[in-house]
Amino acid sequence: MRIVLLGAPGSGKGTQSQRLVDRLGIPQISTGDLLRAAVANGTELGVKAKEAMDAGRLVDDDIVLGMIRERLGEPDAQPGFILDGFPRNIAQAEALDSLLEELGKPLDSVVQMDVDYGELTRRIAGRRTCSNCGRVFNLLTCPPGQAESETCPKTGGPHQLFQRPDDNEATVAERLKVYDQKTKPLIEFYRGHGILRSIDAEGDLDEVTGRLEKALGAPTDAMTSALASVAAKKTPSSGKVVAARRAAKRPPSKQAVAKKSGAKKTPAKKTAGKTAVARGASRKGAAKTGGAKKGPAKKVPAKKAARKALSKQAAAKKTAGKKAVAKGAARSKAKGRKKR
């Protein structure tokens, strides 16, 4: 899935994005994280971004778009992604549309997370971030000491929390003002695209996650568990399925082809016996005809052989008749001479 989460600063986009990462297996792409990494590394991009971020202003579009293009080209973003904090204005949204169209990966859904501005101020002021892994905690939902007791996945030690310069009440008012002017128009922009969904992002974290999943059409934990249970009862084990698929792809063996076509093998002894009989018959025929000729015997059709035999018999009778007539004539002539 290719998703954009919209909402004012402190609406919970980052927290809910992390939960979607676990459920959908696609990466969260936060422009804030990308920019803060550039600031920490002291790059030219980071220096420019730091000035704007500290003052509560948006970073220039060309800088942000370049970073987004690079991130979307990485392998883990190919199956899908969750954009958190981008786009932040109409120009960025139009540029993102062009980029995704070029990549052949248009957005599937945009979710607007609605939170009262008074609540937003409290959330932002209570927000703390791990300096190593970038995970965000909030003092309103995470009691002091709880975050530090958990293990940071990047260092293997406890989280090192700090308050970002733009996470204080002095800059919240300016950030909300910028949001109203620049980002809020995106609601109508994506509504016009027909992919906008809005949810109430206040209340218990699990309840908000459930609303978000419903808006996205993503399966809830209960639904996923139920589907897995049904699949386990109806579907053979994965090993058997894989074996069956591999067997289906193999070409049939010669034995299988012979068996299917009904071909039968003639026993060797039976074949040898027939060969011996044939040789004996051939020798007898050769003895009767003189056996002088060598080489393979020519097969003569039965009807043709019968015609030849009848022709020979007729010729023999005709010859015998002529001889008998000739003998009778000779005897009569001899008798006549004696009488004289």
Catalytic residue among 2, 13, 50, 211: 13
Catalytic residue among 164, 182, 184, 191: 164
In order, the DSSP letters of 165-204 are: TTSSHHHHHHHHHHIIIIITTHHHHHHHHT-EEEEE--S-
Q: Spell 179-193 as b/e; 16+ CB within 10 A means b.
A: beebbeebeebbeee
Catalytic residue among 50, 71, 88, 197: 88
The answer for residues whose C-beta is within 8 angstroms of residue 102's C-beta and 6 or more apart is none
Number of neighbours of residue 286 by Cβ within 10 angstroms = 14
Answer positive or negative: Cα dihedral of 311, 317, 323, 329. negative
127 part of the active site: yes
Of 95, 252, 263, 89, nearest in space to 183 by CA: 89
Kindly tell me the burial class for residue 122, based on how many C-beta atoms sit within 10 Å of its own C-beta (0-12, 13-18, 19 or more). middle
- Cα gap 130→35, rounded to integer Å: 15
- Cα gap 252→256, rounded to integer Å: 6
- Please give the structure tokens belonging to residue 318: 């005709």
End-to-end CA distance of the chain: 139
Strand-pair category, 109-114 with 196-200: parallel
88 part of the active site: yes
13 part of the active site: yes
Catalytic residue among 123, 127, 135, 211: 127
Catalytic residue among 50, 71, 175, 211: 175
- C-beta separation of 211 from 198 below 8 A: no
Query: Mind telling me the catalytic residues?
Result: 13, 88, 127, 164, 175
